[in-house]
Structure 1
Amino acid sequence: MLDFIYYPVSFILWCWHWVFGHVFGESSGVAWALGIVFLVWTLRAIMFKPFVKQVRSMRTMQEFAPEIKKIQKKYANDRQRQAQEMQKLQREHGFSPLGGCLPMLLQIPVFIGLFHVLRSFGNSPNENYFFDASGVSSYLQANLFGAGLSNFITQPQELLERYGAGDRTAVIIVSIPLMILASVLTYLTARHSVERQNPASATAQTAIMNKLTMYVFPIGVLVFGFFFPIGLLLYWLSNNFWTLMQQRFVYKRIDREEEEKKTAAIEKRTNLAPKPGAKPDTAKKRPGTAPAPGAKPAPNAKAAGTPKKPAPGAKPAPNAKAAGTARPKSGGNTNKPTGSASTPNGAANKDGSTDSGLSADRSRNKNTGRKKR
């Protein structure tokens, strides 16, 4: 049913056993142990890019955790609207919750495939997917310090002897250290992941998951290690070791990238800011500033001092002269007399004097400007 998983796992194990079998011997326990370890590391290397995407997606979700909480609080009674707003936020910032679960989900079929392939060595003595009868016999004869790779601590004595173990003590001596190391690495991996979390994104569910990964899972490795074959314990140990090293490497790489972005942004702001003691840029002139000498006036620009026309219907200001009234030139005969009201030509004023200027003005012809003869 799951042959599409079993065959690839069996093929990768066959390749690595062929490599190390030429060095340590085909039936050597070291060759088979290294084959299992490098099988795990090969599969994890294939899943390296999804793991990086997982870390980036988790970091992005932690950055926008306050906004997610606001949406959950705002639409607490409207689940449909809450889901729509969450999807909108995810599309805008390009992160997905499934991206953080994908590498973990991919490890499940790998674990199932390896468990089935290792168990099949004892159930099918003639062949095991890519292994023929000699390959199956080689696996069953291999042992580490007197314990077969298919043995486990709680295994019946008959099966212990059948799968190459001379004594249960040898199985315990080999299995217990592998169980402890696998449990410790599981705890260190979980603690490193929890330390990298943003406190602002912490929720009740997050706290529960942190406790599960930091305490329950390591204890589970110890408990289930009594029922796991030595070959599967090697898988668990090598997988947790890879996860811890990969996690540290990826987080350092992402931290370095973010630090470089911050440094570049600071340098950019520094370059745009004016230097200390430098005068501000005066290229832009304020409104009303006189034009530079020799500069041409702008088209349709009004000359300075030109009186503005009053708006239609506006009343003139008191004592203001009518627009367009020209001042008379000084020294001419067009000056209006000052003083008392005008009198007829040759008539005397009250003080007995005559106004010759007024009679001279009146003697002018309005149309020709000549004096009457």
Structure 2
Amino acid sequence: MLDFIYYPVSFILWCWHKVFGFVFGEANAFSWVLAIIFLTFTVRGIMFKPFVNQVRSMKKMQDFAPEMKKIQKKYANDRQRQAMEMQKLQKEHGVNPLGSCLPMLLQIPVFIGLNHVLRMFTINPYGGPKTENYFFDQAGVESYVHAKLFGTNLGDAIYTGVDMVSGGNAETGFHWGVAPVAIPLMIVASIATHLTARHSVQRQNPESATPQTAMMNKLTMYIFPLGVLIFGALFPIGLLIYWLANNGWTLMQQRLVYTKIDKEEEARKAAEKEKRSNLGPKPGQKPTAPRPGQKPVQQKKNKPSSGGQVKKAGSPHGFAQTGSSAAEKKDANDATAESSTNGSKENGADVPGLISDSTKKSGRKRR
């Protein structure tokens, strides 16, 4: 029923076994151990980009955690409105809640598939001798069955149950001969699980802590490692090797990705600080802004008339020069003054446009 999972897992394992079998020999246990380890690395390498997206998504959610708490408090009695507002907030910050669960969800089929493929090396659900196992032919099956790691078969477990493991055609009960290899692997895998969870919890923002997250942190840091230590007795040696390799990869990947994201965050803060410093005046430079109490100088905009002059109220000549330079203004004023003087010398004639209205009125009274 799950052949769409079993065949890809079996194919990747077959490829790596061929590679290391060419170096160490196909029947050598180290060829199988390395094949299982590199199967894990292959799958985790495929999921590397989703893992990075998961870390970035979780960090964004921690950054706006106070806003989420406000929404939860505001709409505590309206779950539907609360969910809508939460989705709106996540959309504004570009966060996909499913993105943080994707890497974990993808690991579950791989774990199930590898568990099944490894068990099918020694179990024939149809009875009789085992002749093939998905991509492995009979020679590949016999190579796995006869591969011994410190005297222990890779497909053996400390405890074999009828319903859970054997399928009804294997010897059940405890097999203490597997313990010298299985127990150290169980302990190391349990410690690696704890360290991975602890390293992830330390990255969480305390402001985003809730009772639910606190409970999940305790489960991942203590209950899950304890489960590996106890129920690891049911796992075959090959599956314990996968579990250890998976947690080792996760721990190393977390350190690399978190370090990279921290450097990006520091670079972003430094760029923002430099940008703010560039907006202010440089050391020793006088500020260009107006002093306190000083009104900014405003220039009147007058409509220019022909010849570069505009009508100006209150001007003795009725016109004002609007040239672009001070020199042009000076020349225009000199010319105006000269024409006014010449006009007054010639028989006292009025020069149109240059004598004010008050002067004209006084002249009429004298006549």
Quote the offset at 1:276 in angstroms. Answer: 1.7
The CA distance in 1 between the partners of 2:24 and 2:283, in whole Å, is: 71
Distance 1:302 1:242, change over 3 A: farther
- CA separation of 1:282 and 1:241: change in aligned 2, threshold 3 A: closer
Q: Give secondary structure in 2 for the equivalent of 1:122.
A: coil
Q: Counterpart of 1:149? A: 154
Q: Which residue of 1 aligns with 2:283?
A: 276
C-alpha displacement at 1:280, in angstroms?
A: 2.5
Q: Shift in Å at residue 325 of structure 1?
A: 7.8
Identity of aligned residues (%): 65
Distance 2:314 2:198 in 1: 81
Deviations 1:272-305 (A, max 9, x none): 221122123379x9555679xxxxx742676374
Q: Aligned with 2:122: secondary structure?
A: helix
The residue number in structure 2 matching 1:132 is 137
Kept after mapping to 2: 8 A contact 1:147/1:171 = yes
Aligned-pair distance for 1:77?
A: 1.2
Deviations 1:144-163 (A, max 9, x none): 0000001111238xx9xx99
Residues 93 and 139 of structure 1, relative CA distance in 2, 3 Å threshold: same
- Does the residue aligned with 2:160 lie in a helix, a strand or coil? coil
Task: Please state how far the C-alpha of 1:83 moved relative to its aligned partner.
Answer: 1.3
Report Cα offsets for 1:67-111 as digits up to 9, x if no partner. 111111111111111111111111111102111111101110000
Structure 1 gaps, min length 5? 292-296, 308-323, 336-368
Change in CA separation of 1:241 and 1:334 when aligned onto 2, cut-off 3 Å: same
Task: Please list, as runs of the form range in 1=range in 2, the aligned pairs for 1:299-318 lying within 5 A after superposition.
Answer: 299=303, 303=312, 305=314
Query: Which residue in 2 is equivalent to 1:312?
Result: none
| Residue 31 (structure 2) aligns with | 31
Pick aligned residue for 1:227 from 200, 220, 234 = 234
Query: 1:198 aligns to what?
Result: 205
Cα distance between partner residues in 2 of 1:236 and 1:282: 66
What is the one-letter code of the residue matched to 1:98?
L
Aligned to 2:256: 249
Select the residue among 271, 281, 289 that pairs with 1:264. 271
Q: Are residues 1:17 and 2:31 paired?
A: no
1:177 aligns with 2:176: no
Kept in 2, the 8 Å contact 1:20–1:34? The answer is yes
Q: Which amino acid aligns with 1:152?
A: A
| Max Rg structure | 1
Mapping for residues 343-358 of structure 1, pairs under 5 Å: none
What SS does structure 1 have at the residue aligned with 2:195? helix
Following superposition, the deviation at residue 42 of structure 1 comes to: 0.5
Greater share of helix residues, 1 or 2? 2
Task: Using structure 1 for the length normalisation, give the TM-score.
Answer: 0.76
SS at match of 2:235: coil
Q: In 2, Cα distance between the equivalents of 1:282 and 1:139? A: 82
Residue 94 of structure 2 aligns with an amino acid whose one-letter code is G
In structure 1, distance between residues paired with 2:112 and 2:303: 85
Code of the residue aligned with 1:133 in structure 2: it is Q
- Residue 334 of structure 2 is matched in structure 1 by none
Measure, in 2, the Cα distance between the counterparts of 1:333 and 1:273: 65
Kept in 2, the 8 Å contact 1:328–1:334? The answer is no
In structure 1, the residue matched to 2:358 is 326
One-letter amino acid matched to 2:244? L
